[in-house]
Amino acid sequence: MTTLGNIQFPIRIRVTLRRLFLTVSPEDALPFHRPSLQRRFLTCIYSRRDFRRRDIRHRARHGRSLARHTKGNAHIVLVGRNRAAAEAIIQTFPKPTLPSVTHEFVECDITLMKNVHRVAGELRARIPKINFLVLSTGVMTTNGRNETEEGIDRKLAVHYYGRWRFIRDLVPAMESAHQAGEDAKVISVMSAGQGGELDLEDLGLKKNFTLTNAASATGTYNDIMVNDFAVRYPGLSFLHSYPGFVATPLLKTSDSRVLRITYGVLMPILSPFAHSIKNAGEYQLYALLKAKSGAMRTNDTGDDIGVNKPYWGSPEAMAKLWKHTEEATTA
């Protein structure tokens, strides 16, 4: 038996086409009912553009996992663009049995920082404490730099700037939870440990934007982000996770015809190598619940990969990135 706090679960052998290895079954990595999680408040910020219910199901997988393990008795807010699809997902949550517990959707286009600032302010005004903040916004595109009216590339806005602004604006509600002796944890689901070297003179990638540079930069930005917030807000937990290869329809919803065709051809072949949407949510929730205060980076099974290697940040980069992001996201 393996123990996580007072939770015991078996280690199982899983066989896939990739390898034979010992792993914790994600359904056993969490209790099926944790009274300590009841009435906790989770805010899940998911994709910028969700065309299908299945894509929202992927992006909102953390909320689904928490709803399942609390038997519906956790406050859950899904923040995104597609109300109809989100509400359809909420209908699959177990119905709460405790009074005043709600599951709801809040609309927000995260590509614009003024929207993020407004929605975060509205949430703070009516939600005094937030226990878990999950950021899994994503967009798949092969387009070059595509600036919003605020001068931020849309891909960077979704993968970094909007996430940073949500944390910055909602952290007071998380501090309130921490001061009350409750969980106060943030997880940014992106590409932990897979960034690259930064150009500190072009943090917005206005001069040297490529898809490769954007992917590399956002990985490092998220690494630095969790470290910086952890320093500024001791006692809270800030995680950057890498979800691995998940069987999602993200390529299918891309604006690139090539990527949509690629999805149809390759996904049936590659799906045995991928995590299911359900298991991916379990692994990320497992990482979130076991996290201690401070910064943490996790892999596709929710395990700690350390905060130092590989890490492309530095005290100088941390200071410059904070200043740059504060200026870029202040409406």
Q: Which helix (H) or strand (E) holds 187?
A: strand 185-189
Torsion of Cα atoms, 74 then 93 then 283 then 183, to 10°? -10
53-57, 92-96, 180-184: least confidently modelled range: 53-57
Tokens 């996430």 found at = 163
Q: Does the 40-329 domain belong in CATH 3.40.47.10?
A: no
> How confident is the model at residue 6, as a pLDDT?
41
Q: How far is CA 321 from CA 112, 218, 298, in A?
A: 19, 11, 22
Say if residue 104's pLDDT is above 50.
yes
> How confident is the model at residue 27, as a pLDDT?
45
β 20-24/11-15 pair status: antiparallel
User: Cβ(241)–Cβ(193) under 8 Å?
Assistant: no
> How confident is the model at residue 258, as a pLDDT?
57
Is the model's pTM score more than 0.85? Answer: no
User: Cβ(117)–Cβ(169) under 8 Å?
Assistant: yes
Confidence of residue 138 (pLDDT cuts 50, 70, 90): confident
Confidence of residue 3 (pLDDT cuts 50, 70, 90): very low
> How confident is the model at residue 273, as a pLDDT?
65
Confidence of residue 156 (pLDDT cuts 50, 70, 90): very high
Say if residue 91's pLDDT is above 70.
yes
> How confident is the model at residue 34, as a pLDDT?
45
> How confident is the model at residue 281, as a pLDDT?
82
Q: Which of 273 and 137 is assigned the larger pLDDT? A: 137
Q: Quick one: CA dihedral 258, 263, 268, 269, positive or negative? A: positive
> How confident is the model at residue 232, as a pLDDT?
98
The per-residue pLDDT for range 297-312, each reduced to its tens digit, is 999 999 999 988 789 9
Best mean pLDDT range from 51-65, 81-95, 231-245: 231-245
Confidence of residue 250 (pLDDT cuts 50, 70, 90): low
